[in-house]
Structure 1
Amino acid sequence: MAEPPRDIFRLSRDWLSVQEVVDSVSSSRCGAVSVFIGATREDQVEGRKVIGLQYEAYEAMVQSELSRLAAALRARWPSLLHICIHHRLGWVKVGEASVVMAISSPHRQDGQEAIQHAVTQLKASAPIWKKEVYNTQESSWKENSECSWSQSKKQENVSYRRNKES
């Protein structure tokens, strides 16, 4: 009997295990497991050093968006077997993973393309917000430029239309 495809999604306030995510998609039917790890990076913003990120989410809607994302991935790359996405909520210090995702597929190309697409779509559609926290104890909410409701995205579209009309 063929192994049915699995979609595994988790939002967690705990440290993310890359191995757990990889293990959850591994299959003897697949020769490739494509993985993405998004980590909180140390950054300088206007002379302040980022020491961590604070994530919040509309959790029920995130689960719905992840299900929709998985269905879209499977429609575009029918060979995908298992899809797993774990995302942190709450405090994530520099160097720790904020998101870990893995996709298994018989061959690497579909999985690698799908993982790249999944990262972009996750940032564009999932209602997960992040606040940068600085070494000055100040903080600032950040927009994802990929996000369809992003102010910067709207501004880019206005600029693009103006340039195109000129």
Structure 2
Amino acid sequence: MASATSFYDFTPKDKKGQPFPLSDLRNKVVLIVNTASKCGFTPQFEGLEKLYKKVKETNPDDFVILGFPCNQFMNQDPGDNDTIQSFCLTNYGVSFPILGKTDVNGPNAEPVFEWMKSEAPGLLGLKRIKWNFEKFLIGRDGKVKQRWASTAKPETLEGKILEELKKGGAKSEL
């Protein structure tokens, strides 16, 4: 989607394979995470859930985390969408949306990941996701504000998220 100019231009699939228009998140601050259920970083689900709940306490309508399960890194998320959903809820109490399983690299990569990678290249300018639990922060304007490696712990992201939330947003006339 070369003509895409914002996060809101994309429509990935939800956990049931239905379109999930990111335009529905307009004027929100969004944290995107490519997740996996059987990875050394999988315990980050706990930190992500704590972060989600903490930020939502003061910004209930302005912040969301979206998980994108991915099985491209050593087959660390082999289950189907229902299995992944159950795992996240049962083991970590995840209440933020976990979308449908997707590719983040290669010829079948989800277009929103292609766009985010080009907007915020990784280390040495690489336009690929290196591993599970990389994170992208999307501002209210639909632009990538920051990218973090898998090793960035969720609790370290709070300051940047709150900074973006303070910027306010244009309210829709719809």
Q: Same fold (TM over 0.5)?
A: no
TM-score computed with the length of structure 2 as normaliser = 0.27
Q: TM-score, normalised by structure 1?
A: 0.28
Look at both structures and tell me which one has the larger radius of gyration over its CA atoms: 1
